[in-house]
């Protein structure tokens, strides 16, 4: 079963002076085995939406279908632990949640919490650390005594160690330098392509959406404005301009050069092709 929202509303602090409608009649189906970006302005409902995927939040109205589970306010949502083992949610700045004495112990915490034996938890944790690019030299180090990017990888390894089918990441590259962000996004692509994980990424970085994602969901004021394949979103129609979000850097360069008379294809797909197109234009002058 796919991941789907059917007429989902969510209200914070209902029937109080602080009542706030964060999601409004959401109808949405997320494709499995793909990387989907969730984008939109601050306060658009992105984080609220993804917190429904492992029942941290339950709809005020409507139904969420996630793999073989159905979540709604009209039924008792039992055995949520098994759902949370299949849907791993990594919060923004997850490294703030690291607390164990060693990196290996920190990654083992999740598997042990899901009643794995200590040996199974150890093996799965070592595998997860390898997946995120941290070798055995990190096992006995303190998680508080490594770089910010490495902390982020440890936190993600802690989720991967429980072997979820779906990985949900809220602003996973926030605070990282460009190289660290690139490395992190390449990791998610590998997890999707090699390990067949369904990946959902909440992000403000439009370059990451263009370069690494298959599909994009755009939210605004608690509603889904559009849900498209990434190439359709950026290269067909004017949706990306209508929602008043900044174009990815590469597309801004193309747009600027076209305004100056360069005859560049608006659908140039990568920096190498862009450089070659500019070189060709200059050589013809």
Residues 148 and 98 sit within 8 Å (Cβ to Cβ)? no
From the list 36, 25, 26, 29, the residue with the least C-alpha distance to 2 is 29
Q: Could you state, in chain order, the average pLDDT of each consecutive group of 10 residues for the chain (285 residues)?
A: 91 95 97 96 93 94 93 81 91 84 96 93 95 94 90 92 94 86 91 94 92 95 94 78 72 72 69 75 68
* pLDDT attached to residue 266: 66
Residue showing tokens 């390894």: 157
What's the whole-model pTM score? 0.87
């Amino acid at each position: 079963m796919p991941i789907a929202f059917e007429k989902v509303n969510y209200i914070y602090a209902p029937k109080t002076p602080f009542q706030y409608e964060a999601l409004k009649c959401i109808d949405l189906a997320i494709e499995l085995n793909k990387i989907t970006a969730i984008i939109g302005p601050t306060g658009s409902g992105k984080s609220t939406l993804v917190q429904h995927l492992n029942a941290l939040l339950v709809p005020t109205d409507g139904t969420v279908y996630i793999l073989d589970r159905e979540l709604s306010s009209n039924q008792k949502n039992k055995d949520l632990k098994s759902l949370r083992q299949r849907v791993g949610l990594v919060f923004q700045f997850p490294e703030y949640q690291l607390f164990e004495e060693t990196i290996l112990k920190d990654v083992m915490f999740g598997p042990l919490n899901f009643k794995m034996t200590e040996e199974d938890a150890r093996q799965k944790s070592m595998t997860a650390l390898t997946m995120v690019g941290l070798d055995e030299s990190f096992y006995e180090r303190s998680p508080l005594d490594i770089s910010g990017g490495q902390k982020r990888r440890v936190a993600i390894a802690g989720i991967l160690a429980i072997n979820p089918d779906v990985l949900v990441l809220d602003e996973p590259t926030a605070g990282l330098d460009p190289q660290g962000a690139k490395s992190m996004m390449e990791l998610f692509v590998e997890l999707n392509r090699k390990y067949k994980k369904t990946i959902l990424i909440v992000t403000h970085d439009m370059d990451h959406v263009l370069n690494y994602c298959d599909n994009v969901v755009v939210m605004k004021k608690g509603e889904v404005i559009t849900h498209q394949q990434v190439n359709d979103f950026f290269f067909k129609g004017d949706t990306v301009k209508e929602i008043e979000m900044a174009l990815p850097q590469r597309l801004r360069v193309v747009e600027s050069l076209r305004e100056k008379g360069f005859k560049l294809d608006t659908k140039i797909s990568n920096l190498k092709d862009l450089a070659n197109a500019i070189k060709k234009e200059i050589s013809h002058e």
